[in-house]
Structure 1
Amino acid sequence: MEIRKVTQSDVKELAILMDQLGYPTSLDEMKLRMAQIDSTPDYLTLVAEVKGKVAGMVGLTKGYYYEMDGCYVRIVALVVNSAFRNMGIGHELVSEAERWARHIGAKGIGLNSGNREERLKAHAFYRKRGYVAKSTGFAKSLNSNGQKEATHDSFQK
């Protein structure tokens, strides 16, 4: 197994992985997303390759604390192809994410994982690696009615 940075040739497999994660994604959608992510220097996408096939991926982003000095890393996506599960690939991807976090001087690493039945194995996976459930996440979809909101002057740079 090799862990490496994502390349343009991996986009088709990433779309398949997003679907397996529960987020149906077309090839064109994934191309657009990766173009945006790749243009942002505080993101890193790694893939696990087994025998020439993309077996999994981890998407990471660096953020900065408001409440203390320093930065943190957030795992924003982690998925292993169903054909490659239970082979240690997820463990290796998380280990590499943690290595990158240490390398950039991050004080911590975190992630969100849904509270759905199909995520219970993922929760056990994270706990086994020393992650602790610390908070309840909240989310809200913006502009779901299709109306554009007025932009507040303080958002302009």
Structure 2
Amino acid sequence: MEIRPARDTDAPTVTALLTELGYPDNNEADVRRRLERWARHPEGAALVAVSDDGVIGVVAVVAIPLLEKEGSGGRIVALVVDETQRGTGVGRELVAAAEAEAQRWGCNFMEVTSSRHRTGAHAFYRARGYEDRCEKSARFVRQLTV
């Protein structure tokens, strides 16, 4: 297995992976455009895991500069492994690659959000050393019109 930056030609498989993650309303053209944008991001990366069968997983990570203290934090904004490959170490390798990128950008910590119904994902992150901090803060979201 190889982990490399995602290419716009990975859009068909990444679109299918996003559907597995629970986001079925994506089309290949939109995903291709987003992958091209990620490729240009100076402190962000979309990485894919590739095996002999092609792309089997994707992770997107970004550095967020902090104002309240020195440094930046890394955030995994998406992670999904093909359902036939789960439990084989692909997710672990993608997270390690995302963490390495964040460290390269000078991030002091990593964070990830995960819907409460994704209990398997929560166990996966805990096994990687991530702590559930929801009791210490809340997440508020507001849609913006563009």
State the TM-score, normalizing by the size of structure 1.
0.84
| Partner residue in 2 for 1:37 | 38
Distance 2:42 2:105 in 1: 12
Q: Which amino acid aligns with 2:130?
A: Y
Alignment of 1:16-27 (within 5 A): 16-24=16-24, 25-27=26-28
Distance 2:72 2:142 in 1: 25
- RMSD, aligned CA: 1.4
Distance 1:131 1:80 in 2: 19
Indicate if the aligned counterparts of 1:80 and 1:89 stay in contact, CA closer than 8 A: yes
**Over residues 22-71 of structure 1, what are the superposed CA-to-partner deviations in whole Å (9 max), with x where a residue is unaligned?**
01111112122223323322210110011141010110111101110111
| Partner residue in 1 for 2:15 | 15
- The structure having more radius of gyration, on CA atoms, is 1
Deviation of 1:102 after TM superposition, in Å, equals 1.8
Indicate if the aligned counterparts of 2:59 and 2:76 stay in contact, CA closer than 8 A: yes
Tell me, yes or no, if structure 1 residue 47 matches structure 2 residue 48: yes
Between 1 and 2, higher relative CO (CA 8 Å, sep ≥ 6) is seen in 2
| Partner residue in 1 for 2:141 | 139
Q: Which amino acid aligns with 2:139?
A: G
Determine helix, strand or coil for the equivalent of 1:84: coil
Determine helix, strand or coil for the equivalent of 2:130: coil
| Partner residue in 2 for 1:6 | 6
Q: Which amino acid aligns with 2:50?
A: E
**Over residues 119-144 of structure 1, what are the superposed CA-to-partner deviations in whole Å (9 max), with x where a residue is unaligned?**
1100010011100011332222233x
Distance 2:41 2:52 in 1: 30
Determine helix, strand or coil for the equivalent of 2:84: helix
Unaligned runs of 5+ in 2: none
**Over residues 74-128 of structure 1, what are the superposed CA-to-partner deviations in whole Å (9 max), with x where a residue is unaligned?**
100000011211111001111111112222221111111112x2x1100010011
Indicate if the aligned counterparts of 2:48 and 2:56 stay in contact, CA closer than 8 A: yes
| Partner residue in 2 for 1:151 | none
Q: Which amino acid aligns with 1:84?
A: Q
| Partner residue in 1 for 2:120 | 121
How many residue pairs are counted as aligned between the two chains?
142
State the TM-score, normalizing by the size of structure 2.
0.90
Distance 1:92 1:33 in 2: 23
The verdict on how the C-alpha distance between 1:142 and 1:29 changes in structure 2, with shifts beyond 3 A counting, is: same
Percent of pairs with identical residues = 35
| Partner residue in 1 for 2:59 | 58
| Partner residue in 1 for 2:129 | 130
Q: Which amino acid aligns with 1:103?
A: R
